[in-house]
Amino acid sequence: MSDVLSLLRPRTAISAGLDAGGEWAIRFPAHNGIKFNTVLRGACWVRVDGEPEPIRIEAGDCFLLTRGRPFLFATEDAPPPIDSATIYDHAADGIATCNGGGDFFLIGGRFAFEGDHAGLLFDALPPIVHIRDASSQAAVLRWSLEQLALELKQRSPGGALMADHLAQIMLLQVLRLWLTSGEKSGWLGALADQRLTRALGAMHAAPQRRWTLAELAALAGMSRTTFAERFRNVVGQTPLDYLANWRMRLAADRLQRSGDSVATIGFSVGYESEAAFSTAFRRVMGRTPMQHRRLFVA
């Protein structure tokens, strides 16, 4: 997880809090990145476009909105919704007020990600990741978000760095809690299985190594057949396909951020020739290494 988040480089922007009273409904537009929110007072329903059922969010709950789709916050007997800009454009001291406020309070932030690797995280998450207050860890999340708001509002020395670290703390806490809440799929699901985690950790630690299925199965403490079947069922890819994709993600990041030659980058992820690396890169990323590098040239 640390490797993936380091590759994504999350950055945080705080959004205005919401103080609402009575019955209300607010419609929010599509957004980039992941929205993070916590309800400090009251309760509401959250409906994300494309999802069949709303989710009730209560005081103390934290939740992520991961797909960037338009969404709706509303009370039980809500009137027709208003556009979020109606009140957020007039926010005072970072707080948007609806119907005079007093009954409901929410504070939220947004995680943005650099580069084009965000799908690694988004595709592994449901549209709404809901963490109920029953978890003792939720207090850590709420404290982190409140501290984040304070850092950005006060603009103290080192505030930007503090905000970035708080963002990663919050994201990690939510993902950890979500992983313990039931059976998961994708690479995040593999992190809930200690056997698969050992194999993933080895591939991430030495992506340039010529791993064999037998070696990875041995690290997981499983037979080759059982390991291959379990890995594919959970992650959705074979172990060696996962390794190839991870290598190309690392290579893409270096192509974007360094001036190293294509051959040097290819060698760093396990390819002995530039031609072999370029072929593999194009198969996975849909473009050649040089085409990818030119995308990020200022």
Chain mean position to CA 293: 24
Pair (272, 142) in one structural domain: no
Q: CATH code at 53? A: 2.60.120.280
Q: What is the CATH number of the domain that holds 269?
A: 1.10.10.60
Q: How far is CA 135 from CA 45, 158, 183, in A?
A: 20, 31, 18
Which residues constitute the domain of residue 89? 2-179
- Per-residue DSSP letter, 32: S
CB contact set of 72 (below 8 Å; sequence gap of 6+): 25, 26, 27, 28, 45, 46, 47, 54, 81
CB 65 within 8 A of CB 34: yes
Shared domain for 97 and 220, answered yes or no, is no
Model's pTM, two decimal places? 0.71
Residues 168 and 236 in one domain: no
User: Where a domain ends, among 179, 198, 222?
Assistant: 179
State whether 116 and 173 are in the same domain: yes
The reply to whether 120 and 201 lie within a common domain is: no
Considering its fold, how many domains does the chain have in total?
Answer: 2
- pLDDT tens, N- to C-terminus, the chain (298 residues): 677 766 666 666 666 789 999 999 999 999 888 888 888 899 999 999 999 999 999 998 888 898 889 999 999 999 999 999 999 988 887 789 999 999 999 988 787 776 666 666 777 788 888 888 765 666 777 777 777 767 766 767 777 677 767 777 777 777 777 777 665 667 777 777 889 989 999 999 999 999 999 999 999 999 999 999 999 998 888 999 999 999 998 999 899 888 899 999 999 999 999 999 999 999 998 999 999 888 876 5
Residues 35 and 174 in one domain: yes
